[in-house]
Amino acid sequence: MTDLIIIGAGPGGYKAAVYAARHGLKVTVFEDVHVGGTCLNVGCIPTKTYVHSATFAEATERQPQVVEALRGGIETLLSHPNITLIREKGVFINANTVSGVTAKHIIVATGSSAKMLPIPGADGQNVGSSTELLGLKELPKRLCIIGAGVIGMEFASVFQRFGSEVTVVEYLKECLPMVDGDIAKRLRKLLEKRGITFYMGAGVKSIDGSTVLFEQKGKEVSVEADYVLMATGRKPNVSPDFANAGFNYDERKGIAVDENFKTSVKGIYAIGDVNGRQMLAHAAEMQGIHVVNRILGIEDKIRFDFMPAAIFTEPEAACVGPTEDQLKEQGVPFECHKSFYRANGKALAMNETEGMVKLCCEPEEGKLLSAHVFGAHAADIVQEVTAYITLGATLRQLRETVHIHPTLSEVLIEVN
């Protein structure tokens, strides 16, 4: 007998399965591709392998080795005696049954897929998403990236370092809209100095062979590229059989859920990218754990309102909590504190002086509200602040925490 069915073995699905199994639930997992989902197979992990490889040749050699090693680890975790892994697509028959298996509780964790612009030429042989770009065997001499979000900026940084001539075309006026404006601008300017060309406020009209045509400030502009990366976001993986279960969903927004990730049908939950809430692997993982806790009757204090995120460019950028502009729009009283890597001893020793920290808190060094960091190991620094924010700590308490010297994290207590 199965207690819990999970559709999808990506970060959210497999973590939820293992967590539930360790707590005594009998779990059936459906996965029709590879365990690990987009993140492991064609997303976060392959991309970070590229980030940490010296050359394109090294990256293409190491990527499958890293992916296979991690995939093997997940396969081992899913071999738990309480887990049955079925290697096929899980299809809803009704609200309690998926592909012939019936359970009281069902978690949908089908993830997302790349979203392509509906423009002429988007289906060209030299046009693709990050999945296709990671499959290239030769380094493109000229790479045009449509979109300056997380995926676009990471690949722009990596391929410029590998030796490609990189052009980024972005519809918005600035890159990385989820990141504080000061941080985003500083990162873009640094990448421009390294040779990446940015066209901001530009709407792509068509792709004709090697020519990308777009409009900027009322003028038509074109760039030539050997390969075009479409980095224009992702869409939830919804399926027609969802209608058999009866819960509410939208092809663009994904599955509708409440604050506990419950759908409109009792016993069915949706976690990760498919619910469109927070398209991050670690968000999916924690949502899955929270759902299993609800099923088991366990209370937790996971804070989904503070979700850290990182962009693994060179240097990194990372954030948690609202931007300065968002706080102003919300009318929240706050004060802003900044510090710079160039004044940090470890940063100087590492020759990583490009960087900035911005902390927002309630007035008079009160409760921490957000952190936005640009510089080496920004993700690690933001992770520390996330712990303080989650616990409701103040900037004063952060300042009064002893930090090892010399470390980059000292930039946090050097803010003024």
Strand partners of residue 380? none
124: tokens are: 């060209």
Alpha helices in 78-180 (DSSP H): 130-134, 150-162
Strands 4-7 and 105-108: parallel
- Distance, C-alpha 229 to centroid of its chain: 17
CB 154 within 8 Å of CB 134: no
**Alpha-carbon span 135 to 156, nearest angstrom:** 16
**Alpha-carbon span 398 to 370, nearest angstrom:** 13
- Spell out a b/e string for 77-115, using b for 16 or more CB atoms within 10 Å of the CB, else e: bbeeebbbbbeebbbbeebbbbbebebebbbbbbbbebb
Give the DSSP per-residue string, 184-229.
HHHHHHHHHHTT-EEE-SEEEEEEETTEEEEEETTEEEEEE-SEEE
* Active-site residue, from 34, 80, 105, 405: 405
127-130 contacts: CB < 8 A, separation 24 or more? 127/207, 127/227, 127/228, 127/230, 128/227, 128/228, 128/229, 128/230, 129/229, 129/230, 129/231, 130/42, 130/43, 130/47, 130/155, 130/229, 130/231
**Alpha-carbon span 123 to 330, nearest angstrom:** 41
Q: Is 337 part of the annotated catalytic residue set?
A: no
84: tokens are: 């049955």
In 10 A of CB 401, how many CB atoms? 12
61: tokens are: 């050699």
Q: What 3-state class would DSSP assign to 327?
A: helix
Please identify every residue annotated as catalytic: 405
